[in-house]
Amino acid sequence: VLSSVHWTQLCSVFTEGITEQISSVFCLAPGMMARTGTRMTAFVALLALCTVSQAFHHSIPLKLMQSSTLRNSFGSERSSVDTSRTSRATLESSEAASPATTDATQASSFAIKDSVGTITSEVALSGTKSGEASKPKRRRKKFKDLASLKSAKKKIDEYDFNEAMTNLAKNNKNKEVWAVWALMKQQEVQPNKYCFNAILKASRTIRTTEFPDVMSILNKMEESGVTPDTFSYNAAIRSASASGADSWNQVQDILKKMKINNVQPNRFIYNSIIAACGEAEQYKEVMFYLREMELNFVEPDVISYNAAISALSASPEMWPDVQTLLRTMKAKDVTPDAYTYSAVLNACGKAGLSHEVLDYLREVEESNVEANLVLYSAAIDALGKHPEMFPQVMDVWHRMEKEEIEPNTCTYTSMIKSCGVAGHYSEAIGFLKDMQ
Protein backbone atom coordinates (compact mmCIF):
# COMPACT_ATOMS: atom_id res chain seq x y z
CA VAL A 1 0.00 0.00 0.00
CA LEU A 2 1.05 3.60 -0.47
CA SER A 3 2.67 5.10 2.59
CA SER A 4 2.21 8.65 3.88
CA VAL A 5 5.47 9.55 2.12
CA HIS A 6 4.03 8.55 -1.23
CA TRP A 7 0.88 10.58 -0.55
CA THR A 8 2.96 13.62 0.41
CA GLN A 9 4.90 13.35 -2.86
CA LEU A 10 1.67 13.20 -4.80
CA CYS A 11 0.23 16.21 -2.96
CA SER A 12 3.15 18.40 -3.96
CA VAL A 13 2.61 18.13 -7.68
CA PHE A 14 -1.14 18.44 -8.29
CA THR A 15 -1.16 22.16 -8.97
CA GLU A 16 -3.64 22.24 -11.80
CA GLY A 17 -7.27 22.93 -10.97
CA ILE A 18 -10.18 20.76 -12.01
CA THR A 19 -13.93 21.09 -12.08
CA GLU A 20 -15.89 21.37 -8.89
CA GLN A 21 -17.71 18.16 -9.66
CA ILE A 22 -14.58 15.98 -9.64
CA SER A 23 -13.38 17.65 -6.46
CA SER A 24 -16.70 16.83 -4.79
CA VAL A 25 -16.48 13.19 -5.85
CA PHE A 26 -13.03 12.72 -4.37
CA CYS A 27 -13.98 14.47 -1.14
CA LEU A 28 -16.76 11.91 -0.73
CA ALA A 29 -14.43 9.00 -1.52
CA PRO A 30 -13.42 8.18 2.10
CA GLY A 31 -17.01 7.87 3.26
CA MET A 32 -17.91 5.75 0.27
CA MET A 33 -14.97 3.47 0.94
CA ALA A 34 -15.97 3.06 4.57
CA ARG A 35 -19.55 2.15 3.66
CA THR A 36 -18.75 -0.22 0.80
CA GLY A 37 -15.53 -1.73 2.13
CA THR A 38 -13.63 -0.64 -0.99
CA ARG A 39 -9.95 -1.56 -0.80
CA MET A 40 -7.13 0.84 -1.43
CA THR A 41 -6.22 -0.88 -4.69
CA ALA A 42 -9.41 0.22 -6.41
CA PHE A 43 -9.02 3.78 -5.13
CA VAL A 44 -5.42 4.07 -6.32
CA ALA A 45 -6.49 2.82 -9.75
CA LEU A 46 -8.98 5.69 -9.86
CA LEU A 47 -6.28 8.08 -8.68
CA ALA A 48 -3.95 6.92 -11.45
CA LEU A 49 -6.56 7.48 -14.13
CA CYS A 50 -7.34 10.98 -12.89
CA THR A 51 -3.64 11.80 -12.72
CA VAL A 52 -3.07 10.74 -16.32
CA SER A 53 -5.99 12.86 -17.50
CA GLN A 54 -4.58 15.84 -15.53
CA ALA A 55 -7.92 16.23 -13.82
CA PHE A 56 -6.84 16.23 -10.18
CA HIS A 57 -6.82 19.07 -7.68
CA HIS A 58 -3.77 19.60 -5.50
CA SER A 59 -5.88 19.96 -2.37
CA ILE A 60 -7.71 16.66 -2.73
CA PRO A 61 -4.86 14.31 -1.67
CA LEU A 62 -4.27 16.46 1.40
CA LYS A 63 -7.94 16.29 2.33
CA LEU A 64 -7.86 12.55 1.89
CA MET A 65 -4.74 12.22 4.04
CA GLN A 66 -6.37 14.26 6.81
CA SER A 67 -9.43 12.03 6.77
CA SER A 68 -9.50 9.59 9.70
CA THR A 69 -11.88 7.37 7.73
CA LEU A 70 -9.33 7.09 4.94
CA ARG A 71 -6.47 6.40 7.33
CA ASN A 72 -8.50 3.63 8.95
CA SER A 73 -9.44 2.22 5.54
CA PHE A 74 -5.80 2.17 4.45
CA GLY A 75 -4.44 1.13 7.81
CA SER A 76 -5.16 -2.55 7.51
CA GLU A 77 -2.03 -4.48 6.56
CA ARG A 78 -2.23 -6.85 3.62
CA SER A 79 0.45 -9.10 2.29
CA SER A 80 2.19 -8.12 -0.92
CA VAL A 81 0.91 -11.31 -2.54
CA ASP A 82 -2.75 -10.52 -1.88
CA THR A 83 -2.34 -6.94 -3.03
CA SER A 84 -0.56 -8.07 -6.17
CA ARG A 85 -3.44 -10.42 -7.00
CA THR A 86 -6.01 -7.68 -6.48
CA SER A 87 -3.91 -5.30 -8.58
CA ARG A 88 -3.73 -7.77 -11.45
CA ALA A 89 -7.51 -8.27 -11.40
CA THR A 90 -8.06 -4.50 -11.37
CA LEU A 91 -5.74 -3.90 -14.31
CA GLU A 92 -7.17 -6.82 -16.29
CA SER A 93 -10.74 -5.63 -15.65
CA SER A 94 -9.82 -2.14 -16.83
CA GLU A 95 -8.10 -3.58 -19.87
CA ALA A 96 -11.14 -5.65 -20.78
CA ALA A 97 -13.47 -2.67 -20.33
CA SER A 98 -12.06 -0.43 -23.05
CA PRO A 99 -8.82 0.34 -24.88
CA ALA A 100 -8.87 3.93 -23.57
CA THR A 101 -9.03 2.73 -19.96
CA THR A 102 -6.25 0.24 -20.60
CA ASP A 103 -3.94 2.90 -22.00
CA ALA A 104 -4.68 5.22 -19.10
CA THR A 105 -4.00 2.55 -16.47
CA GLN A 106 -0.85 1.32 -18.14
CA ALA A 107 0.32 4.90 -18.52
CA SER A 108 0.13 5.41 -14.76
CA SER A 109 3.91 5.27 -14.43
CA PHE A 110 4.71 8.95 -14.65
CA ALA A 111 7.39 11.46 -13.77
CA ILE A 112 6.39 14.29 -11.42
CA LYS A 113 8.27 17.41 -10.43
CA ASP A 114 8.22 19.17 -7.07
CA SER A 115 9.99 22.27 -5.86
CA VAL A 116 13.18 20.33 -5.10
CA GLY A 117 13.59 18.13 -8.16
CA THR A 118 12.12 15.26 -10.12
CA ILE A 119 10.44 12.35 -8.42
CA THR A 120 9.62 9.26 -10.45
CA SER A 121 6.51 7.63 -9.06
CA GLU A 122 5.12 4.27 -10.01
CA VAL A 123 1.40 4.13 -9.45
CA ALA A 124 1.39 0.49 -10.48
CA LEU A 125 -0.95 -1.42 -8.26
CA SER A 126 1.66 -3.92 -7.13
CA GLY A 127 1.56 -3.53 -3.37
CA THR A 128 5.31 -3.15 -2.82
CA LYS A 129 6.51 -2.46 0.69
CA SER A 130 7.93 0.87 1.71
CA GLY A 131 11.55 1.21 0.62
CA GLU A 132 11.31 -1.49 -2.06
CA ALA A 133 11.80 -0.53 -5.69
CA SER A 134 8.56 -0.64 -7.71
CA LYS A 135 8.68 -2.73 -10.85
CA PRO A 136 6.57 -1.71 -13.86
CA LYS A 137 3.75 -4.16 -14.60
CA ARG A 138 4.31 -6.19 -17.73
CA ARG A 139 1.99 -5.29 -20.56
CA ARG A 140 -0.48 -7.98 -21.54
CA LYS A 141 -0.01 -9.48 -24.97
CA LYS A 142 -2.43 -8.21 -27.59
CA PHE A 143 -4.80 -10.81 -29.00
CA LYS A 144 -6.52 -9.46 -32.08
CA ASP A 145 -7.83 -12.53 -33.86
CA LEU A 146 -8.20 -16.30 -33.81
CA ALA A 147 -4.69 -16.92 -35.11
CA SER A 148 -3.04 -14.94 -32.29
CA LEU A 149 -5.04 -16.91 -29.72
CA LYS A 150 -4.09 -20.27 -31.22
CA SER A 151 -0.41 -19.32 -31.35
CA ALA A 152 -0.32 -18.16 -27.71
CA LYS A 153 2.40 -19.86 -25.67
CA LYS A 154 0.77 -19.11 -22.32
CA LYS A 155 -2.60 -20.14 -20.99
CA ILE A 156 -5.20 -17.69 -22.29
CA ASP A 157 -8.09 -16.50 -20.15
CA GLU A 158 -11.44 -14.78 -20.68
CA TYR A 159 -9.79 -11.36 -20.95
CA ASP A 160 -7.65 -12.55 -23.86
CA PHE A 161 -10.73 -13.96 -25.60
CA ASN A 162 -12.60 -10.75 -24.86
CA GLU A 163 -9.88 -8.65 -26.49
CA ALA A 164 -9.86 -10.75 -29.64
CA MET A 165 -13.65 -10.98 -29.94
CA THR A 166 -14.18 -7.26 -29.33
CA ASN A 167 -11.59 -6.38 -31.98
CA LEU A 168 -13.12 -8.78 -34.50
CA ALA A 169 -16.69 -7.58 -33.84
CA LYS A 170 -15.57 -3.96 -34.21
CA ASN A 171 -14.21 -4.81 -37.68
CA ASN A 172 -17.37 -6.78 -38.60
CA LYS A 173 -15.45 -10.06 -38.86
CA ASN A 174 -18.45 -11.89 -37.48
CA LYS A 175 -17.56 -15.33 -38.80
CA GLU A 176 -14.26 -15.20 -36.92
CA VAL A 177 -16.04 -14.00 -33.76
CA TRP A 178 -18.01 -17.24 -33.75
CA ALA A 179 -14.80 -19.22 -34.34
CA VAL A 180 -13.24 -17.62 -31.24
CA TRP A 181 -16.40 -18.45 -29.29
CA ALA A 182 -16.06 -22.10 -30.34
CA LEU A 183 -12.43 -22.07 -29.15
CA MET A 184 -13.55 -20.70 -25.77
CA LYS A 185 -15.98 -23.58 -25.37
CA GLN A 186 -13.31 -26.07 -26.41
CA GLN A 187 -10.90 -24.75 -23.77
CA GLU A 188 -13.71 -24.49 -21.19
CA VAL A 189 -13.12 -20.77 -20.56
CA GLN A 190 -16.07 -18.96 -18.98
CA PRO A 191 -17.09 -16.00 -21.19
CA ASN A 192 -17.49 -12.58 -19.59
CA LYS A 193 -19.89 -9.78 -20.47
CA TYR A 194 -17.74 -8.38 -23.25
CA CYS A 195 -17.48 -11.77 -24.97
CA PHE A 196 -21.26 -12.07 -24.92
CA ASN A 197 -21.61 -8.52 -26.26
CA ALA A 198 -19.34 -9.38 -29.19
CA ILE A 199 -21.49 -12.44 -29.91
CA LEU A 200 -24.64 -10.31 -29.81
CA LYS A 201 -23.13 -7.95 -32.35
CA ALA A 202 -21.94 -10.79 -34.57
CA SER A 203 -25.39 -12.40 -34.51
CA ARG A 204 -26.66 -9.53 -36.67
CA THR A 205 -25.35 -11.33 -39.76
CA ILE A 206 -24.58 -14.88 -38.59
CA ARG A 207 -26.66 -17.25 -36.46
CA THR A 208 -25.76 -20.68 -35.14
CA THR A 209 -27.67 -23.74 -34.00
CA GLU A 210 -26.51 -22.98 -30.45
CA PHE A 211 -28.01 -19.47 -30.59
CA PRO A 212 -30.81 -19.35 -33.20
CA ASP A 213 -31.89 -15.87 -32.03
CA VAL A 214 -30.67 -13.03 -29.83
CA MET A 215 -32.98 -13.92 -26.95
CA SER A 216 -31.17 -17.24 -26.58
CA ILE A 217 -27.89 -15.32 -26.17
CA LEU A 218 -29.37 -13.02 -23.51
CA ASN A 219 -30.80 -16.03 -21.68
CA LYS A 220 -27.42 -17.77 -21.80
CA MET A 221 -25.79 -14.66 -20.32
CA GLU A 222 -28.13 -14.75 -17.34
CA GLU A 223 -27.70 -18.51 -16.89
CA SER A 224 -23.92 -17.93 -16.78
CA GLY A 225 -24.31 -15.32 -14.05
CA VAL A 226 -23.48 -12.44 -16.43
CA THR A 227 -25.81 -9.43 -16.23
CA PRO A 228 -26.58 -7.81 -19.61
CA ASP A 229 -25.89 -4.06 -19.71
CA THR A 230 -27.25 -1.32 -21.97
CA PHE A 231 -24.65 -2.16 -24.62
CA SER A 232 -25.84 -5.79 -24.55
CA TYR A 233 -29.46 -4.80 -25.05
CA ASN A 234 -28.59 -2.28 -27.76
CA ALA A 235 -26.58 -4.89 -29.68
CA ALA A 236 -29.44 -7.38 -29.22
CA ILE A 237 -32.02 -4.95 -30.63
CA ARG A 238 -29.83 -4.11 -33.62
CA SER A 239 -29.30 -7.79 -34.35
CA ALA A 240 -32.98 -8.66 -33.87
CA SER A 241 -34.04 -5.91 -36.29
CA ALA A 242 -32.12 -7.68 -39.07
CA SER A 243 -33.70 -11.09 -38.43
CA GLY A 244 -36.46 -10.85 -41.04
CA ALA A 245 -40.20 -11.31 -40.66
CA ASP A 246 -40.10 -12.05 -36.92
CA SER A 247 -37.84 -9.12 -36.11
CA TRP A 248 -40.40 -6.89 -34.42
CA ASN A 249 -41.56 -9.67 -32.08
CA GLN A 250 -37.95 -10.26 -31.03
CA VAL A 251 -37.44 -6.55 -30.38
CA GLN A 252 -40.56 -6.52 -28.22
CA ASP A 253 -39.29 -9.53 -26.24
CA ILE A 254 -36.00 -7.75 -25.61
CA LEU A 255 -37.82 -4.63 -24.38
CA LYS A 256 -39.90 -6.78 -22.02
CA LYS A 257 -36.74 -8.36 -20.60
CA MET A 258 -35.25 -4.89 -20.08
CA LYS A 259 -38.37 -3.83 -18.19
CA ILE A 260 -38.27 -6.95 -15.99
CA ASN A 261 -34.61 -6.26 -15.17
CA ASN A 262 -35.29 -2.55 -14.52
CA VAL A 263 -32.98 -1.38 -17.30
CA GLN A 264 -33.91 2.08 -18.55
CA PRO A 265 -33.32 2.59 -22.31
CA ASN A 266 -30.74 5.25 -23.12
CA ARG A 267 -30.49 7.32 -26.31
CA PHE A 268 -28.54 4.64 -28.17
CA ILE A 269 -31.17 2.02 -27.40
CA TYR A 270 -34.02 4.31 -28.43
CA ASN A 271 -32.23 5.07 -31.70
CA SER A 272 -31.91 1.34 -32.37
CA ILE A 273 -35.59 0.78 -31.52
CA ILE A 274 -36.63 3.52 -33.95
CA ALA A 275 -34.46 2.03 -36.68
CA ALA A 276 -36.00 -1.38 -35.94
CA CYS A 277 -39.46 0.14 -36.42
CA GLY A 278 -38.47 1.07 -39.96
CA GLU A 279 -37.04 -2.39 -40.67
CA ALA A 280 -40.29 -4.01 -39.48
CA GLU A 281 -42.51 -1.37 -41.18
CA GLN A 282 -43.94 -0.34 -37.83
CA TYR A 283 -44.30 3.29 -38.86
CA LYS A 284 -46.75 4.37 -36.17
CA GLU A 285 -44.38 3.07 -33.50
CA VAL A 286 -41.69 5.52 -34.64
CA MET A 287 -43.61 8.53 -33.34
CA PHE A 288 -44.56 6.61 -30.18
CA TYR A 289 -40.96 5.94 -29.20
CA LEU A 290 -39.88 9.49 -29.98
CA ARG A 291 -42.54 10.71 -27.54
CA GLU A 292 -41.49 8.09 -24.99
CA MET A 293 -37.91 9.35 -25.18
CA GLU A 294 -38.98 12.81 -24.14
CA LEU A 295 -41.26 11.48 -21.39
CA ASN A 296 -38.27 9.59 -19.98
CA PHE A 297 -36.11 12.75 -20.20
CA VAL A 298 -33.97 11.33 -22.99
CA GLU A 299 -33.46 14.14 -25.48
CA PRO A 300 -33.51 13.00 -29.14
CA ASP A 301 -30.36 13.97 -31.07
CA VAL A 302 -29.73 14.29 -34.80
CA ILE A 303 -29.20 10.51 -35.07
CA SER A 304 -32.59 9.93 -33.43
CA TYR A 305 -34.35 12.20 -35.93
CA ASN A 306 -32.39 10.74 -38.85
CA ALA A 307 -33.42 7.23 -37.82
CA ALA A 308 -37.05 8.32 -37.47
CA ILE A 309 -37.19 10.13 -40.81
CA SER A 310 -35.41 7.26 -42.55
CA ALA A 311 -37.89 4.77 -41.06
CA LEU A 312 -40.88 6.84 -42.16
CA SER A 313 -39.49 7.60 -45.62
CA ALA A 314 -40.37 4.10 -46.87
CA SER A 315 -44.11 4.84 -46.62
CA PRO A 316 -45.68 7.56 -48.83
CA GLU A 317 -48.50 7.91 -46.29
CA MET A 318 -46.02 9.07 -43.64
CA TRP A 319 -44.83 12.12 -45.61
CA PRO A 320 -46.68 14.60 -43.32
CA ASP A 321 -44.90 13.08 -40.30
CA VAL A 322 -41.55 13.46 -42.08
CA GLN A 323 -42.22 17.17 -42.52
CA THR A 324 -43.29 17.44 -38.89
CA LEU A 325 -40.09 15.81 -37.66
CA LEU A 326 -37.93 18.12 -39.77
CA ARG A 327 -39.71 21.18 -38.35
CA THR A 328 -39.49 19.79 -34.81
CA MET A 329 -35.76 19.21 -34.89
CA LYS A 330 -35.14 22.72 -36.20
CA ALA A 331 -37.37 24.18 -33.48
CA LYS A 332 -35.34 22.29 -30.86
CA ASP A 333 -32.02 23.55 -32.29
CA VAL A 334 -31.04 20.12 -33.58
CA THR A 335 -29.22 20.94 -36.83
CA PRO A 336 -30.13 18.69 -39.78
CA ASP A 337 -27.12 17.17 -41.55
CA ALA A 338 -26.59 15.57 -44.95
CA TYR A 339 -28.09 12.28 -43.74
CA THR A 340 -31.21 14.08 -42.52
CA TYR A 341 -31.80 15.61 -45.93
CA SER A 342 -30.95 12.32 -47.64
CA ALA A 343 -33.76 10.64 -45.70
CA VAL A 344 -36.12 13.53 -46.53
CA LEU A 345 -35.25 13.25 -50.25
CA ASN A 346 -35.92 9.50 -50.10
CA ALA A 347 -39.32 10.29 -48.61
CA CYS A 348 -39.99 12.78 -51.41
CA GLY A 349 -39.12 10.12 -53.97
CA LYS A 350 -41.46 7.55 -52.39
CA ALA A 351 -44.25 10.11 -52.25
CA GLY A 352 -43.66 11.24 -55.86
CA LEU A 353 -42.87 14.83 -54.83
CA SER A 354 -40.23 15.83 -57.38
CA HIS A 355 -40.54 19.59 -56.93
CA GLU A 356 -40.04 19.27 -53.17
CA VAL A 357 -36.72 17.56 -53.94
CA LEU A 358 -35.50 20.74 -55.64
CA ASP A 359 -36.73 22.84 -52.71
CA TYR A 360 -34.77 20.76 -50.21
CA LEU A 361 -31.65 20.83 -52.41
CA ARG A 362 -31.81 24.63 -52.32
CA GLU A 363 -32.28 24.48 -48.56
CA VAL A 364 -29.15 22.35 -48.28
CA GLU A 365 -27.15 24.99 -50.15
CA GLU A 366 -28.58 27.88 -48.13
CA SER A 367 -27.97 26.17 -44.78
CA ASN A 368 -24.33 25.38 -45.67
CA VAL A 369 -24.85 21.66 -45.08
CA GLU A 370 -21.95 19.76 -46.63
CA ALA A 371 -23.56 17.53 -49.24
CA ASN A 372 -22.18 14.02 -49.65
CA LEU A 373 -22.59 11.01 -51.91
CA VAL A 374 -25.58 9.69 -49.97
CA LEU A 375 -27.47 12.96 -50.37
CA TYR A 376 -26.76 13.33 -54.09
CA SER A 377 -27.64 9.69 -54.76
CA ALA A 378 -30.96 10.17 -52.97
CA ALA A 379 -31.67 13.30 -55.03
CA ILE A 380 -30.89 11.52 -58.33
CA ASP A 381 -33.07 8.56 -57.37
CA ALA A 382 -36.01 10.79 -56.36
CA LEU A 383 -35.81 13.07 -59.41
CA GLY A 384 -35.08 10.27 -61.86
CA LYS A 385 -38.55 8.79 -61.45
CA HIS A 386 -40.03 11.70 -63.41
CA PRO A 387 -39.02 12.05 -67.09
CA GLU A 388 -39.51 15.81 -67.04
CA MET A 389 -36.88 16.08 -64.31
CA PHE A 390 -34.03 14.60 -66.37
CA PRO A 391 -32.30 18.00 -66.85
CA GLN A 392 -32.30 18.45 -63.04
CA VAL A 393 -30.89 14.94 -62.65
CA MET A 394 -27.99 15.91 -64.92
CA ASP A 395 -27.51 19.12 -62.89
CA VAL A 396 -27.06 17.05 -59.74
CA TRP A 397 -24.62 14.75 -61.57
CA HIS A 398 -22.53 17.71 -62.77
CA ARG A 399 -22.54 19.14 -59.25
CA MET A 400 -21.09 15.88 -57.98
CA GLU A 401 -18.36 16.05 -60.63
CA LYS A 402 -17.57 19.66 -59.72
CA GLU A 403 -17.25 18.73 -56.04
CA GLU A 404 -15.16 15.67 -56.96
CA ILE A 405 -17.53 13.22 -55.28
CA GLU A 406 -17.03 9.75 -56.73
CA PRO A 407 -20.29 7.96 -57.62
CA ASN A 408 -20.85 4.42 -56.41
CA THR A 409 -22.86 1.54 -57.85
CA CYS A 410 -26.13 2.88 -56.40
CA THR A 411 -25.54 6.31 -57.97
CA TYR A 412 -24.82 4.82 -61.40
CA THR A 413 -27.86 2.55 -61.13
CA SER A 414 -30.11 5.54 -60.39
CA MET A 415 -28.61 7.49 -63.30
CA ILE A 416 -29.18 4.59 -65.72
CA LYS A 417 -32.79 4.21 -64.51
CA SER A 418 -33.34 7.94 -64.93
CA CYS A 419 -32.02 7.78 -68.49
CA GLY A 420 -34.38 4.90 -69.22
CA VAL A 421 -37.42 6.70 -67.77
CA ALA A 422 -36.63 9.80 -69.86
CA GLY A 423 -35.89 7.76 -73.01
CA HIS A 424 -32.21 8.73 -73.19
CA TYR A 425 -30.90 5.27 -74.01
CA SER A 426 -27.55 6.32 -75.45
CA GLU A 427 -26.77 8.18 -72.20
CA ALA A 428 -27.74 5.07 -70.26
CA ILE A 429 -25.19 3.02 -72.23
CA GLY A 430 -22.59 5.72 -71.59
CA PHE A 431 -23.12 5.53 -67.81
CA LEU A 432 -22.95 1.74 -67.99
CA LYS A 433 -19.55 1.99 -69.72
CA ASP A 434 -18.37 4.50 -67.11
CA MET A 435 -19.11 1.94 -64.39
CA GLN A 436 -16.76 -0.52 -66.05
Q: What percent of the chain has pLDDT over 70?
A: 68
Give the separation between CA 316 and CA 339, rounded to whole angstroms.
19
Assigned domain for 130 exists: no
Closest listed residue to residue 229, CA positions, set 202, 253, 265, 276: 265
Assigned domain for 79 exists: no
Last residue of a domain, one of 236, 263, 290: 263
The pLDDT-based confidence of 383 (bands split at 50, 70, 90) is very high
pLDDT recorded at residue 54: 43
pLDDT recorded at residue 35: 42
pLDDT recorded at residue 141: 56
Q: What is the pLDDT of residues 214-247, one digit of tens each?
A: 999 999 999 999 999 999 999 999 999 988 778 9
Assigned domain for 230 exists: yes
The pLDDT-based confidence of 281 (bands split at 50, 70, 90) is very high
Last residue of a domain, one of 233, 263, 293: 263
Q: Domain range holding 208? A: 141-263
Q: What is the mean pLDDT of residues 278-299?
A: 94
Domain tally for the chain?
Answer: 2
Say which amino acid occupies 268: F
Average per-residue pLDDT for the chain: 76
Q: Considering the entire predicted model, what is its pTM?
A: 0.65
Assigned domain for 136 exists: no
Q: What is the pLDDT of residues 38-97, one digit of tens each?
A: 444 444 444 444 444 444 444 444 444 444 444 444 444 444 444 444 444 443 444 444
Last residue of a domain, one of 263, 285, 314: 263
Q: What is the pLDDT of residues 54-64, one digit of tens each?
A: 444 444 444 44
Q: Where are the beta strands (DSSP E) in 106-250?
A: 109-113, 118-122
Residues 6+ apart with CB under 8 A from 200: 214, 217, 218, 232, 235, 236, 239
pLDDT recorded at residue 172: 87
Assigned domain for 49 exists: no
